Amino acid sequence: AAAGILCYVGAYVFITYDDYDHFFEDVYTLIPAVIIIAVGTLLFIIGLIGCCATIRESRCGLATFVIILLLVFITEVVVVVLGYIYRAKVEDEVDHSIRKVYNGYNGTNPDAASRAIDYVQRQLRCCGIHNYSDWENTVWFKQTKNNSVPLSCCKAALSNCTGSLTRPMDLYSEGCEALVVKKLQEIMMYVIWAALAFAAIQLLGMLCACIVLCRRSRDPAYELLITGGTYA
């Protein structure tokens, strides 16, 4: 179950980041998500090993289980550290690239970056970088010459909005940069909290395995009897 949840968290980060990947250039931001998916896959295998070793009370199996869990625990600590590092870098990444993305907007023949801008403005209910007036400095705005911003800036409740700057009350007033940064940092926090939660689970697993190992070491004469009264 823990392995499945970890893989889900990692996949969620990948899917969500795909909608915002035009706003940052550092692909290493996804490293924590890659690691957490790998850990989730490994954790499933480890869980099977732990169950078999516990049922059979195999000292070798349990010792291996504890060592692997310790390695996974260290990996999850690394995920937490990387998560905090890249969470701090998100704002600089977005600030560095968002203006270039907006300047490349082409509303008449939208490419991937243009679709990303429209998606973000509708999804986060924002317009422009800091506010809707930022559109006046873009190439697209100067080429269209209709004193309008993209329709994705229009408030969702309005059906007759044309994006005209003469009716600013029809447009979202908040800029997208701060909201994109906030969204990406929230996603990174999901990874951090997931890694912390399951690191605690790894500690519990190691503790339980150590208890079984200690019980076996205190009772060396403990052996399973088989039919006929002989010892296994």
pLDDT at 22: 66
Q: Do residues 45 and 200 touch, judged by C-beta distance below 8 A?
A: no
58 vs 121, 208, 213, 220, CA distance in Å?
58, 14, 9, 13
Q: What is the mean pLDDT of residues 85-89?
A: 79
Burial of 161 (0-12, 13-18, 19+ CB in 10 A): middle
pLDDT at 58: 67
Question: pLDDT tens across 140-198, in order?
Answer: 888 888 889 999 999 988 888 888 898 889 999 899 999 988 888 888 888 788 788 87
Question: pLDDT tens across 30-83, in order?
Answer: 677 777 778 777 777 777 777 776 666 667 777 777 787 788 788 878 888 887
For 78-230, give the CATH class: mainly alpha
* CB contact set of 94 (below 8 Å; sequence gap of 6+): 23, 24, 177, 180, 181, 184
Start-end of CATH 1.10.1450.10 domains in the chain: 78-230
Question: pLDDT tens across 112-139, in order?
Answer: 778 888 888 998 999 999 999 999 988 8
Place of tokens 């049922």: 55
What does the alpha-carbon distance between residue 201 and residue 82 come to, in Å, rounded to a whole number?
Answer: 20
Within 13 Å, how many C-alpha atoms sit on residue 217's CB side?
A: 10
